[in-house]
Amino acid sequence: MQRRQGTYPPGLIALVLVYAALALIYAWATPIFEASDELWHFGMAEFIRENQDLPVQKPDGVPTHWEQEGSQPPLYYTLAAALMLPFDLSDADDHRQLNPHAKVGVPGALDNKNIVLHDTPHPPLRGTVFAVYTVRIFSIALGMVTVCAVYFTARLAVPEGERWKNVPLLAAGLAAFNPMFLFISASLNNDNLVTALNSVVIYLMLQMLRDGFTFPRSLAISLLVALATLTKLSGLVLVPVVALAGVLVAVRQRNLRGLITLGASMLVSWLVLAGWWYARNVLLYHELFGISMMVNVAGPRLEPFRLSTLLAEFEGFRIAFWGLFGTVNVLTFDVFYRIMDAVTVAAVIGLSLHFAALLRKRPLTLPDQQTHPLALLLLALVLVIGMVSVIAWTAQTYASQGRLLFPYLAALCPLFALGLAALFRRLPRPFVRLPQIGLALLALFALMVPFASIAPAYALPRPLTALPESANPVYARYGDVELLGYEAELQRYRPGDEVTITLYWRPQAPSDRDYSLYLHLLDQAGGVMGKVDTYPGGGKLRTTTWTVGVIYRDEYRVRLEQTPSDAFLLRMLVGWWHVPSVTTLEAVDEGGAPIGSVVFTVGGYVGDVALVDAEDFTPVEPVQFGEVVQLRGYRLQGARLWLWWESTGTPDSDYTVFAQALSESRIVVGQGDAPPMLPTRYWRRGENYITFHQFTFNDPVEPGLYPLIIGWYRPSDFARVDTDSPDDAYVLTTMQLP
């Protein structure tokens, strides 16, 4: 490679070193087992280490430490098992205690992002922790191989000339500084080995296309392809493309012997190195690739997979190519995905223009000695077959993740970089260097992601010494933990909104059980509209381990999932329960007396309120109260009164309606004061509401007709709202008392 390409350029060396430094930061920011499927990848390597054998998959629903990864080819896991041999893994079960409330696969989850429970995000470097980080460093080294292979592949794929000289470094940088590639390559994951092997194979394939057959190169390609297929089924994608490249070389150079040598060495290498594992699949599962068994263990799709399904999941797919961290539940800044969307579109446009220019200049013919067009077509074919394989896989199970294209980075990144270069070289000179500037910005953003997005997802809450002034003081004790206060944004909520509440806890003693906190959003009848079940600290604390005597700030957002079509005061129920035994903790006051349910007002809810049916009401000429509400009609049935109101503004306070029956001497003989179900501070102009009033009467009261007056007042000081009537009380009608 050095004889043909020259020594490694300083730019590539610097880029690889920066990549390695960034990858180490990503490894630090991600607690063990919190990377995509790392828990199961570790379990697979651990099984091989302990048993010197492969697990036999059983789709019986019984959990295992390796789950669907037990259906993967074993090369990466065998190497990982060898690396873990010096370490004591007896503490592995302590580090993989599952979070029962984990929100795995929920992008943007606001709590319970951790799949396992951690006493600290950075435990001492010993035992299982040391073993995992050792394999992570091995994976980072594999990522360095990938970045170099992408660079040299791009050097072979792009045209010669001064204008294209920066494309290889741009291609390598697009791989090295992709936050998602950094995240995966800094984890224990078999993708790292198959990506490195595939990348080197793609480079050697293009070298063969340019220079022709040699036995050492054909043997190297054959061995690497076999090893790739023993690492992950993604390695099989390159087999038909390498075969096609061999046919093209044989036809162009009239070298049938070289083609036969390549084909024979690929077949023999595969049979010797990888064939045994595929034969094992046939014997155990009656299928060559083990895909059906893997789907059964991972969980099949429950609905048909159609084009609409593919389009619906495309957004998640593309996000997972650039940055979907944790266990597919930690996002970074939304603007980053939008920018990369624009960059992707620009690359596709530029690549299309480049291909069109090639076809106009010279039609593709096999005897043509220009390898550039054929090299690009082979790279594109790798990418197309890779995408088809990913779609075929995700059609069977829920796996629409763009990172599954990483095994084809050596094809994707050179095409991507060439497209950008081809587009920007057509722009005015000041814009020509934009791709290089953009690459530097991508590297800076990649540096920011671990600190801004990944590490905070697992950071433990910082204990407080006193209740903040912003908190509303309350007191309730559940077992060994005290609730000292809360904060709620008393605002208006609509269907689908998230209600924020912050609780302040002070443990008196560690519990002997890990209790779960439950938060229930309640409607006016006590029905649950949304809920969260979690360990405290958003799933990151355990009641058996938290620090006694300090105050923990605990913030949650609860989504309104059940959305009735009316309006009312929204409340939050707070309590504790023990998941395994399904028992709840009773809330008591400072004296130990039971206090029943602990419920807080958290705002007002306004659903899709239906229009008032005017036929049910006796209309009145609109009667204005203040500048915020007017009466539109009423319905009176015996001692029950309904009033129809229209909001003409936004009241600054909560008001109550008074409704009174008066005697001739204006003595109140009956009263039905009541606030609206939705406090008036949440009303908005143009909305209609109905208040209900049940009258109670003095005893005794004489039969007859009694004037009925209504109005509004502020409960805090009983000040009435202005209206054009004496005493700010509007005479509505008369009420007949028997």
pLDDT per position as a tens digit, 282-340: 999 999 999 999 999 988 988 888 888 888 888 889 999 999 999 999 999 999 999 99
- 3-class SS at 211? helix
| pLDDT of residue 619 exceeding 70 | yes
What integer pLDDT is reported at residue 17 of this predicted model?
Answer: 97
- 3-class SS at 593? coil
Q: Yes or no: say if 379 and 415 are a contact pair by the CB < 8 Å rule.
A: yes
Q: Yes or no: say if 217 and 207 are a contact pair by the CB < 8 Å rule.
A: yes
What integer pLDDT is reported at residue 604 of this predicted model?
Answer: 93
Q: What's CA 204's distance to the chain center, in Å?
A: 37
Residue 2 burial class via C-beta count within 10 angstroms: exposed 0-12, middle 13-18, buried 19 and up:
exposed
| pLDDT of residue 4 exceeding 50 | no
Output the six-digit token pair for 543.
């009641």
| pLDDT of residue 163 exceeding 80 | no
Residue 105 burial class via C-beta count within 10 angstroms: exposed 0-12, middle 13-18, buried 19 and up:
middle
What integer pLDDT is reported at residue 70 of this predicted model?
Answer: 96
| pLDDT of residue 139 exceeding 90 | yes
- 3-class SS at 529? strand
| Of the candidates 637, 483, 492, the residue with the CA atom closest to the CA atom of residue 551 | 483
| pLDDT of residue 366 exceeding 50 | no
| Of the candidates 173, 195, 187, the residue with the CA atom closest to the CA atom of residue 406 | 195
DSSP 514: -
- 3-class SS at 207? helix
What integer pLDDT is reported at residue 306 of this predicted model?
Answer: 87
Output the six-digit token pair for 187.
């984890």
**What average pLDDT does range 437-442 have in this prediction?**
92
> What is the C-alpha separation between 282 and 289, in angstroms, rounded?
8
**What average pLDDT does range 365-384 have in this prediction?**
78
- Whole-number Cα distances in Å, 114 to 63, 95, 119, 500, 517: 18, 12, 12, 20, 16
Q: Which residues lie below 8 Å from residue 339, measured CB to CB, with a gap of 6+? A: none
Q: Yes or no: say if 624 and 611 are a contact pair by the CB < 8 Å rule.
A: no
| pLDDT of residue 186 exceeding 70 | yes
Ranges 241-245, 424-428, 477-481: which has the least confidence: 424-428
Residue 505 burial class via C-beta count within 10 angstroms: exposed 0-12, middle 13-18, buried 19 and up:
buried
| pLDDT of residue 229 exceeding 70 | yes
> What is the C-alpha separation between 322 and 177, in angstroms, rounded?
10
| pLDDT of residue 614 exceeding 50 | yes
- Give 704-732 pLDDT, tens digit per residue: 899 999 999 999 999 999 999 999 999 99
What integer pLDDT is reported at residue 510 of this predicted model?
Answer: 83
> What is the C-alpha separation between 601 and 472, in angstroms, rounded?
12
What integer pLDDT is reported at residue 1 of this predicted model?
Answer: 42
What integer pLDDT is reported at residue 94 of this predicted model?
Answer: 94
| pLDDT of residue 3 exceeding 50 | no
Plot region of 276 (φ>0 → left; ψ -120 to 50 → alpha; else → beta): alpha
Locate all alpha helices (DSSP H) within 52-190, ordered by sequence. 75-83, 92-95, 127-157, 167-176, 179-185
**What average pLDDT does range 671-686 have in this prediction?**
92
**HEC letters along 294-327:** HHHHHCECCCCCCHHHHHHCHHHHHHHHHCEECC
| pLDDT of residue 158 exceeding 90 | no
Q: What's CA 348's distance to the chain center, in Å?
A: 27
Mean pLDDT value across the chain: 92
Which percentage of the chain shows pLDDT scores above 70? 96
| pLDDT of residue 691 exceeding 80 | yes
- Give 68-93 pLDDT, tens digit per residue: 999 999 999 999 999 999 999 999 99
Query: Dihedrals φ, ψ of 658, to 5°?
Result: -100, 140
Residue 721 burial class via C-beta count within 10 angstroms: exposed 0-12, middle 13-18, buried 19 and up:
buried
Catalogue the E-assigned strands of 542-699: 552-559, 567-578, 583-584, 587-588, 598-606, 618-625, 629-637, 640-647, 656-662, 668-671, 688-694, 696-697
What integer pLDDT is reported at residue 266 of this predicted model?
Answer: 97
**What average pLDDT does range 144-159 have in this prediction?**
95
